[in-house]
Structures are given as structure tokens and as C-alpha cells.
Amino acid sequence: MRFPCIEAGRNFRPDRHLPFLVGAERYGWIRAEDAGVLARWPEVFELSGAAVKLAPALDSLERRTAALDPVCKALAESGHIRGWRDERYTIRNSFDEQPLALIERAAARFFGTLTFGVHANGIVDDEDGAPRLWIARRSLSKFIDPGRFDNVVGGGIGWGYGIRETLVKECWEESGIAAALAERATPGRTIHLLAEIPEGVQREQIFVHDLPLPAGFRPSGQDGEVSEHRRVAIAEALALIAEGEMTIDASLVTLDWLLRSGHIDPAAPELAGIEALFNAPDVSAR
């Protein structure tokens, strides 16, 4: 058994991308083949063979946001940005940092900017004493990973929302978990993804949580984004991960819990490389 999600979480080659700079600091990665389209907006971007830099005259959150909005809409019209969400994400390099600009959620992967998500492992102690996991199958209408299995709760953190606030919101929307039950979740580790994907670059921090659920609880999606819920044993969860039936994000979130709870051996060869995903990637020397 091997877990392709581990390699996929760091499937990134800097030489195929240009840094996206604001001032002298890198805030994203743009595929080299896509960078040329930004030449349409010389008042917004300074292009060179080494980087894409936001114009220095855009020196405030409001000016950067206003300049990037029409760019994102035009890129969506031309097919360079897909899966428009009409939701605001930020350009920033840490969760506690004030944003430099707000952009459409779907544009974050074109620019390779840092995004944030919160996931929860829904854990049930079954009658035989062995833990089970509630997982969710994504709706076939989802733009990303339609029909694949996900954690019982998982969602992006939009601008204006905190980690716990997003967790409680997503618990209800995706699985009908009321706030009082959602508040029982405890933090796991943070997963740091840096991966080349069809939409561009997924550069994301996932805040993992563990949520104990009562034996009689049955999840129920409220927003149409989940087509079914399934309660699985550990062996079944591992098989879904190995077969690629579970999303990369959810696979890593599940493996994090299994490692921390001692249900899998951290020295197992199929887990080689996973610990690196719990630290921010270092591409400064590449």
C-alpha cells in the first residue's frame, strides 16, 4: 500500500513558475506559461523573465484590490481562471498578517497565493470500541474533485472569518453539526501544501481538527455540496486514501489523525515524506 497524496502535497517545481512579487517579497507563484497574458495590464504588473511584480503605484489594499478585480474577471472570461466562486480571499503570507489585497477565491490558484482551510476528522467510538470515521462524498457538481471522498468537514477560510468561526460554519453547512457539538473539536497539526494543479498552484495551509461525534449521530448536508456521508473503519479509510478515492487534502488530514492517535506506524515506508508536510516549504534555495 502506498499513499500518493504525500508526494502530491509537494509536487512543485519552482523552475516552471515565476515568483509573484509585491515590493521585494514573494506572495505567490505563476506558471511561466501563463505569465505572458498579464502583459495586457502594464499599469498593474511589471513583467520580466525572472518575476511578475505588482506595480509599485498600487500602494494600498484598496488600490491593489481595485486593480486586480477587472484582471481576475477578464482572466475568467478567457478561461485562465475557472470555477468562479464570488468569494473573497486574501493576498498575505501568514494567517495573522494584514492582507495586501483581496481577490476572487478562484484566482488564488492562478496567482499561487497562500490560502487557508479548516478540516475536521469526524471520529466515532463504535460499539466494539474501535474508532470509525465519518467521511463525505463531494457532490458531482463541485468544480474541484467532484465525487471524491472528503473529511466530514472541510472548507476554505474566506476574508473576515476566523479559524473556529469557519469550522463551526462548515460543520453545519456540510454535515448538519450544530455549533455546540462543533465546539468540541480540538486542533491537530497544520498541513502545508505546495503543489502544481490544473488551476495553477495550490499553496495552502490546512488547520486540522479532530471532532468526536456521538455514536448515534448521523451527518446531513445542508448546502448541497455533499452527496452522501459514510462511516468507515480505519482499514477502509486507508484503502480509499491509497486508491486515490479521497481528496489529497482529506487524505493528509486523515493520516495526520491516524499518526497522532497511534493507529499507524510513523516509521512505515509508505509514510516517507509526510512529516515535511507539517512544515512550511522552503523554496528559497531553488
DSSP 160: T
Q: What is the pTM of this model?
A: 0.95
Question: What pLDDT, on the 0 to 100 scale, is given for residue 31?
Answer: 97
Question: What pLDDT, on the 0 to 100 scale, is given for residue 163?
Answer: 98
Question: What pLDDT, on the 0 to 100 scale, is given for residue 284?
Answer: 61
Nearest to 237 by CA among 221, 219, 216, 252: 252
Q: Binning pLDDT at 50, 70 and 90, where does residue 125 land?
A: confident
Q: Where in the chain is the domain with CATH 3.90.79.10?
A: 115-278
Question: What pLDDT, on the 0 to 100 scale, is given for residue 130?
Answer: 86
| Strands of the 45-47 sheet, one edge to the other | 25-31, 17-22, 52-54, 45-47
Q: Where in the chain is the domain with CATH 3.30.750.160?
A: 14-113
pLDDT at 239 over 50: yes
pLDDT at 183 over 90: yes
pLDDT at 236 over 90: yes
Q: Binning pLDDT at 50, 70 and 90, where does residue 271 land?
A: very high
Q: Binning pLDDT at 50, 70 and 90, where does residue 147 land?
A: very high
Q: Which amino acid is at 243?
A: E
pLDDT at 283 over 80: no
Q: Binning pLDDT at 50, 70 and 90, where does residue 144 land?
A: confident
Report the distance separating Cα 121 and Cα 254, nearest Å: 7
Superfamily of domain 115-278: Nucleoside Triphosphate Pyrophosphohydrolase (3.90.79.10)
Q: Binning pLDDT at 50, 70 and 90, where does residue 285 land?
A: very low
Question: What's the CATH number for 14-113?
Answer: 3.30.750.160
DSSP 5-39: HHHHTT---GGGEEEEEETTEEEEEEEHHHHGGGG
pLDDT at 260 over 90: yes
CA distances from 74 to 68, 81, 129, 135 (A): 10, 9, 55, 37
pLDDT at 8 over 70: yes
SS3 50: coil
| pLDDT tens-digit series, residues 24-60 | 999 999 999 999 999 999 999 999 989 999 999 999 9
DSSP 246: B
